[in-house]
Amino acid sequence: MSKNLPLWLAAVNTVGVITAFEERLNGGGDFDIYVGCSAGSVVATLLANGVRASEVYKIIDQDLEHPLNFRRGAVYASNSFRHAAGRFGRLLWAVGKNAMTAVRGSVPDMLAAAERDLPAGFFSLVALERYMRETLAAVGLQNSFTALERVLLIPAIDLDRAQRVVFGRGNLRDVPISEAVAASSAIPGFFEPYTLRGRDYVDGGVGFSGHADLAAEAGADVVIVVNPLVPNPDGGVVPLRNRGLYTIMEQAGRIYSQNLLQLGLSTLRVKHPRTEFHLIQPARDETPLFGPSMGFEASRAALRFGYESTKEWLTDQGLPLLRRLQATPQVV
C-alpha cells in the first residue's frame, strides 16, 4: 500500500489525518511507499523513518519541547526577514528604475524591462535544509534514501528543464533527504529556487497535484491521496477580493490544484485499473484551513481538524477503505 502526502505548509493537517488512521487500525498504518511533495515531504520523511503520526501529533498539539515541534525557525533563519526586506527593496528599485518605460509605453513593457533586476524570491530554504538535517540526526533518523526500509519519493521541478524529478529513485537516490525536502518546498515567488548539484529546483506542486502516479508506477495496490487544501466556495462573510492579494492568489492556486488533482486521478484510474485510489480532503464548506498557507499560528487548529474530520469520515464514507486496510497485511 502507499500513501501520498502532498502540498504546502498547511500539510501539518496531514499528521492529524494519519493519526486517525493509526487509531482505527489499532496502532497500524505502516505503508510500503511514501510520496511527499513540498511540506508533505517533511511528513513523509518522518513516516518513512518509522515515526508514528500520533507521536508527531502529540508533540505539536501540546507544543512540547522537542526537535519535531516545527516552529518558525525551522523554515526561516534569524536574518531571513532582514534579507527579505532587502529583496523587497530590490523589487521597488527595479520597478522605479524602469518607471519611465510605463509612462512612454505600458506596464507590461516596464515589467519586461525590469525582469533581470527582480529578485528570484524573498526567502531562502537553507534554514529548512539545515533544520531537517540536524533534526533527523538529533532523533536518530535516516537522512539517506538508501538507508530507509520503506520507499520514500520526493518530487520537485527542475526549473530550467521544466521537468519533474523524483528524489529517492534512479540517479537521485544518493541525494540527502534534507536537500530533497528543500528542493521540493521552493514555492515560486516566495522562496528562491533551491540549487542542488548545479540545478535549480522549485516546489514539486508546480504543474502537478498529488503525484499519485509515482505510487501507482511503483506497484501500489492502494493509493491514499491526502489533500488538506481545497478552495473556499463563497468567501465567507468577507469577499475574498477584500482580503487582499495573498488570499486571491491562494484561492486561484487551490482552484488550479483541485482541478488538476481531479483530472489526474481520473486519468490514473483508467491507466491503472487494478490500483485503488482514495482521495481524502475536507468538504469545501467545512474547512477552516483557509488563509496564509505558511502561517504557524494556525498549525494546531489544522492538526485537530485533520484528526477529527478524518475520524468522523472513517465511520461513514471511509469505512470501505478502513475495512480494506484492516484486511490487508501491512509491511512494518
**Domain residue extents for the chain:** 6-75+123-327, 80-117
Distance CA 62, CA 235 (A): 31
Q: How confident is the model at residue 219 (pLDDT cuts 50, 70, 90)?
A: confident
Residues 162-199 have pLDDT tens digits of 999 999 999 999 999 999 999 999 999 889 999 999 99
- Cα–chain-centroid distance for residue 150? 20
In this predicted model, which residue has the larger pLDDT, 168 or 111?
Answer: 168
- Concatenating the DSSP letter of every residue in 101-133 gives HHHHS-HHHHHHHHGGGS-S-SB-SHHHHHHHH
Element (H, E) at 223: strand 222-226
Which three three-digit cell numbers place residue 183? Answer: 528542493
Highest mean pLDDT among 102-106, 113-117, 130-134, 247-251: 130-134
What 8-state DSSP symbol labels residue 169? S
Matching residue, cell 502561517: 295
In this predicted model, which residue has the larger pLDDT, 316 or 89?
Answer: 316
Q: Helix, strand, coil % (nearest 5) of the chain?
A: 50, 15, 40
Which three three-digit cell numbers place residue 61? Answer: 498539539
- Given a cut of 70, whether residue 93 has pLDDT beyond it is no
Of 127, 49, 143, the residue nearest 81 (C-alpha) = 127
Element (H, E) at 216: helix 212-217
Matching residue, cell 527595479: 94
Which three three-digit cell numbers place residue 248? Answer: 486571491
Share of residues in the chain with pLDDT > 70 (%): 73
Query: Inter-axis angle of helices 40-48 and 12-24, to 10 degrees?
Result: 40
Distance CA 28, CA 26 (A): 6
Does domain 6-75+123-327 correspond to CATH entry 3.40.1090.10?
Answer: yes
Distance CA 97, CA 119 (A): 14
The average pLDDT across 134-154 equals: 96
Residue ranges of alpha helices (H) inside 115-233 are 126-138, 177-184, 212-217
Note the pTM of the prediction, 2 decimals: 0.82
Of 196, 217, 226, the residue nearest 275 (C-alpha) = 217
The average pLDDT across 9-21 equals: 76
